[in-house]
Amino acid sequence: MHAALTVLAILFGWLFTVATAWALGTLLLRRFSLVFYRWEERLFAFLVGAALLSAIVFVLCAAHLAWKALFLVLGLAIIGYALRSGAHRPRGEAFPSLPQLWRWVFLIVFGAFTILYFVNALEPESSPDGMSYHLGVVAKYQRTHGFPRITTDIYASLSEGIEMLFLWAFEYGRHSAAALVHFAFFIALTFLILSYAQRIGRPAAGVAAAIFFYASPVVGLDGSVAYIDVGITAVLFALFYLLQIWDQERNAKLLIPIGILAGFSYAVKYTAFLAVPYTLGFIAWKLWRARKPVLRPVLTVSMLALAFILPWMAKSWIEVANPFSPFANRVFPNPYVHISFEDTYRKYMRVYGLTSYWQIPWQVTVRGDLTTGLIGPLFLLSPLALLALRFREGRQLLLAGLIFGLPYVTNVGTRFLIPAVPFVSLSLALGLSGVEWLLLVLVAAHAISCWPNVVQRYCSPAAWRLVKVSPKAALRIQPHDAYLKGNLGYDLAQMMETYVPMDAKVFAFTQPGAAYTSRQVLVGYEGAFNEVLQDILWTPMFRDFQPTRSLTFQFPPREFRKLRVVETASVPAEAQWSVSELRVFDSGRELPRDPEWRLTAHPNPWDVQLAFDNSAVTRWRSWQPPEPGMYLEIDFARNQKLDSVVVESSGDTSATKIELDGLSSDGKWTTIAAAPTESLRPSRMSLRQSATAEFKARGIRYLLITDDNIGANDFRSYSKLWGLKTVAEQGVARLYYIE
């Protein structure tokens, strides 16, 4: 009974979300008297409505009004109004029937894969990103009925257009309802591909392209979990499709859904920002060539797009002082995301585990381990898509595919190819449409080669793919907990739920399944504050991080108002400048740190106190490559007599060079000493307790460590030295309490 109710709740959450989106979209399309073919109307209505519903949920979250009851009332009102307005009665004409052979091909292949994907989506959510952040943030919003200010999780700063829809569904059906919402985008996109081909009079190519896309292993898995890649692809394809219709009909009212979808693209995923210049460029180019006024249509689309883009920028700006967080931190320096993180992230995303870019074609089509997933061997034939260049539609498809595929150069994971896959699929099918039997062979070969039992015969065992589905788990005959047990992310989350008090904070190096815990987790790399904690924790274990270098500037006694330690060397990109302690002396006596002093640093002024706290485990770091001109500064608030300055620094900064500058009473900066004398002072005492004391001082009492984390053995072997007590141990994970 409980299982049946759970499944019903999931299905309700899913269908209620889709129905509300569809109703909103239909109302908008009808309001502007936009008439399409029947299938087109349904599909565009869902996608445009999804954008509108997402915006509504955004507003409710911003106002902290994201309540289940309000969603219910609002949703029912929208659906009721749409039905009363006759929105469910299609206006447009139906497409001509598909040729019989191709109809059966589509029904059989689409039906088989749909069962597979539907069961996967209905299963308890266990995808890595779905359970960690796509639904992790959704669960937070659901608990707080809005946007709490999150500054320690980079993922919470990304645009979350589809996550807003997940939230609507999550309120009723939790995780699986959200995954099914993504699945709805997947279905919609598959039918959009088919519809577009029917519109251009190529139904066979449409069926083939729809199957090329739908059966692709990485697309199938992504589209049936709580990810957003297939969702954004649906939005981009719908945008392309509407632009093509506008190009034919030049109906100015079409610019309304076009503008909405262009803006929604950015709202769903930053990497889809190219949709906006593509849309504006397309419209401007077409109008200019037709010698029609350009400005007004372009402005209309821009304003509509901005209405969907600006709220996300404003949210990030208000919460983390950077409208493009977690990127563009050099342009918008802030205390929440380090530039070094961004650099490292970008560098990794450009290569993953590849040793050569020549590995990409084989990896993304067949092997799928180094780039996380495969689109299927069929796509080795992608160059044949160029045959479509002989058709106008083919040229448009290839251009759009190229533009939407461009962000792949910034992230070579196979998932990042998904936005280009429908365009390549349709171009390939269009290019070969003259040889129908060949298309049929390719469809059959692709469908067979993408079935999970067959995929495992040629892909890497480590490839991210759909391995098997469990109808028992999907129908909750196998309880949710029993199904997820053994999934590391879920197990970590459950460990915290069981052993960590409600309001306690946990530090972890490994991302847990945040969607399954209400505890606040600070993951080492997910924010500047967390990275500082990680640095503190690593300092006792790595001597290179410890303040073993003592750099002394000695000079004749003089009075200064301000003092600066300035970095003067250009150092390799991987390095950083750091200062553990900056001490000032007069006549051999260290001056106590006066509350009147004002401290600052450039860059990263927000951490400057770490160089003045008398702790050997904390340090101010540049968190970006050292550059001449970086400095730490003390403003004494009055003239202060000094005769030496000591900079305590770590071994990993040995490539940097520093000088000492002073501001004297005449208001002029002068160089006091061009170079310090260096002495080494290796520490032979354990700093472990000092590190955990820093955690306590920041209100963090729990550490969640897995065996593959750096230092895992040290925590286990020297837990007494750290002042740690093991609270729970399960498999490779340990939960420690800082005593």
Partner 1 sequence: MNRIVVAILPLLLCCCDRLPETYPPPEQRQPQALTPDPYAMMVEMNDPDAAQHIVKDIYEPFGSPWRWTAKQPTVKVLVDATDNVKMSADFAIWDDGFKQTGPLELSYFVNGRLLDKLKYATPGYKHFEKAVPAGWLAADAESTISVDVDKLYVSPQDGKKFGLILTRIGFLR
Chain contacts with partner 1 (rule: CB under 8 A): 314, 317-318, 321, 334-335, 540, 543-544, 548-549, 593-600, 605-606, 608-609, 612-615, 618, 635, 651, 654, 680, 682-687, 689-690, 693-694, 717-718, 721
Angle between helices 2-31 and 38-62 (to 10 degrees): 110
Considering the complex, state which of residue 497 and residue 544 has its C-beta at the smaller distance from partner 1.
544
Q: How far is the CB of 651 from partner 1 (least distance, A)?
A: 5
Instruction: Identify the H or E element spanning 25.
Output: helix 2-31
Find, among 688, 659, 654, the residue nearest to 671 by Cα: 659
Rounded Cα gap, residues 262 and 235, in angstroms: 8
Rounded Cα gap, residues 466 and 116, in angstroms: 9
Q: How far is the CB of 590 from partner 1 (least distance, A)?
A: 11
Considering the complex, state which of residue 559 and residue 594 has its C-beta at the smaller distance from partner 1.
594
Q: How far is the CB of 618 from partner 1 (least distance, A)?
A: 8
Q: How far is the CB of 603 from partner 1 (least distance, A)?
A: 10
E strand segments, 471-518: 505-508
Find, among 456, 387, 392, 479, the residue nearest to 428 by Cα: 387
Considering the complex, state which of residue 103 and residue 720 has its C-beta at the smaller distance from partner 1.
720
> Which pair of tokens denotes residue 732?
């490779």
Q: Cα separations (Å) of 558 from 389, 578, 590, 599, 668?
A: 77, 26, 15, 20, 14
Q: Which residues does 321 contact at the CB level (< 8 Å), separation at least 6?
A: 332, 334, 335, 336
Q: How far is the CB of 145 from partner 1 (least distance, A)?
A: 20
Q: How far is the CB of 601 from partner 1 (least distance, A)?
A: 9
Residue 350, CA atoms < 13 Å, CB-side half-sphere: 8
Rounded Cα gap, residues 705 and 496, in angstroms: 12
Angle between helices 229-249 and 38-62 (to 10 degrees): 120
Considering the complex, state which of residue 93 and residue 590 has its C-beta at the smaller distance from partner 1.
590
Q: How far is the CB of 480 from partner 1 (least distance, A)?
A: 40
Considering the complex, state which of residue 20 and residue 334 has its C-beta at the smaller distance from partner 1.
334
Considering the complex, state which of residue 249 and residue 544 has its C-beta at the smaller distance from partner 1.
544
Q: How far is the CB of 194 from partner 1 (least distance, A)?
A: 41
Rounded Cα gap, residues 312 and 305, in angstroms: 12
Considering the complex, state which of residue 279 and residue 316 has its C-beta at the smaller distance from partner 1.
316
Considering the complex, state which of residue 27 and residue 339 has its C-beta at the smaller distance from partner 1.
339
> Which pair of tokens denotes residue 376?
């299927």
Neighbour tally for 181: CB within 10 Å: 29
Alpha helix (H) residue ranges in 123-160: 128-129, 135-144
Q: How many angstroms from the chain centroid is the CA of residue 639?
A: 50
Find, among 227, 240, 228, the residue nearest to 192 by Cα: 240
Q: How far is the CB of 66 from partner 1 (least distance, A)?
A: 19
Rounded Cα gap, residues 476 and 457, in angstroms: 30
Q: How far is the CB of 54 from partner 1 (least distance, A)?
A: 20
Q: How far is the CB of 581 from partner 1 (least distance, A)?
A: 10
Q: How far is the CB of 292 from partner 1 (least distance, A)?
A: 24
Considering the complex, state which of residue 7 and residue 693 has its C-beta at the smaller distance from partner 1.
693
Q: How far is the CB of 28 from partner 1 (least distance, A)?
A: 21
Rounded Cα gap, residues 181 and 163, in angstroms: 10
Q: How far is the CB of 41 from partner 1 (least distance, A)?
A: 31
Considering the complex, state which of residue 344 and residue 717 has its C-beta at the smaller distance from partner 1.
717
DSSP states of 199-218:
HTT-HHHHHHHHHHHHH-HH
* SS3 state at 141: helix
State the DSSP code for 695. H
Rounded Cα gap, residues 270 and 132, in angstroms: 19
Considering the complex, state which of residue 18 and residue 575 has its C-beta at the smaller distance from partner 1.
575
Cα diameter, the chain:
97
Considering the complex, state which of residue 321 and residue 349 has its C-beta at the smaller distance from partner 1.
321
Q: How far is the CB of 157 from partner 1 (least distance, A)?
A: 15
Q: How far is the CB of 592 from partner 1 (least distance, A)?
A: 8
Q: How many angstroms from the chain centroid is the CA of residue 336?
A: 16
Residue 37, CA atoms < 13 Å, CB-side half-sphere: 18
Q: Cα separations (Å) of 344 from 303, 347, 350, 439, 524?
A: 35, 5, 10, 43, 14
Neighbour tally for 732: CB within 10 Å: 15
Is there a cis peptide before residue 297, judged by omega within 30 degrees of 0?
Answer: no
The one-letter amino acid code at 647 reads: V
Rounded Cα gap, residues 32 and 259, in angstroms: 14
Q: How far is the CB of 45 from partner 1 (least distance, A)?
A: 28
Q: Cα separations (Å) of 694 from 203, 482, 619?
A: 66, 38, 12
Considering the complex, state which of residue 127 and residue 689 has its C-beta at the smaller distance from partner 1.
689
* SS3 state at 670: strand
Backbone angles phi, psi at 614, to 5 degrees: 65, 25
Instruction: Identify the H or E element spanning 700.
Output: strand 700-706
Q: How far is the CB of 146 from partner 1 (least distance, A)?
A: 15
Q: Cα separations (Å) of 45 from 276, 288, 305?
A: 20, 29, 17
Under 8 Å between Cβ of 670 and 659: no
DSSP states of 515-543:
GG--SEEEETTSSHHHHHHHHHHHTTT-G
